[in-house]
Chains A and B, each alone.
Chain A
Amino acid sequence: KAGVTQTPRYLIKTRGQQVTLSCSPISGHRSVSWYQQTPGQGLQFLFEYFSETQRNKGNFPGRFSGRQFSNSRSEMNVSTLELGDSALYLCASRSQETSYNEQFFGPGTRLTVL
């Protein structure tokens, strides 16, 4: 089974621009979560999608948004980029049923904002 894939792997943008990151979960996984990883703040939860619905959201401004498609693929969008948005953005998927199960992480998208 293919793992979680994220595209692109690297991205350079300038302040004020917007960016869209993509995540393809493991086949059969219906839950996709997004995380931001920075040296200053560490790993922080952005949001979780399940069956095209946002189920949980972390403490991030409205510039950060996401969506999930019927095939469970997910996109994350950041509008009006700021320098502080430079980070590694990680996506994770799991085959959510009624109890916890393991998340599988993708390699991440490295976003640099100039």
Chain B
Amino acid sequence: EAGVTQSPRYAVLQEGQAVSFWCDPISGHDTLYWYQQPRDQGPQLLVYFRDEAVIDNSQLPSDRFSAVRPKGTNSTLKIQSAKQGDTATYLCASNANTGQLYFGEGSKLTVL
């Protein structure tokens, strides 16, 4: 069984640039999560979906961050006008409602 796949693995931007992260969850997992993990901190939830619907995006900085999962499978997290404070690893996870989240290896973002 293939795991959660994320791309790109690394991104380096100047402030003000945009970036998109892509996530392919485990087949059949209806719930998908995006977490932000700054260096030396734990993962912090940004948004999660059940199928194509956003269930909770209360922690997503809506002015610059957006996330979609249009067909209830793959998902894209986009950051517009990145800031240095966005430097972090962005983790995608999926869950088949078993209580076990399966995480990808993450996309490490550095904003200079």
The reply to whether chain A is a binding partner of chain B is no
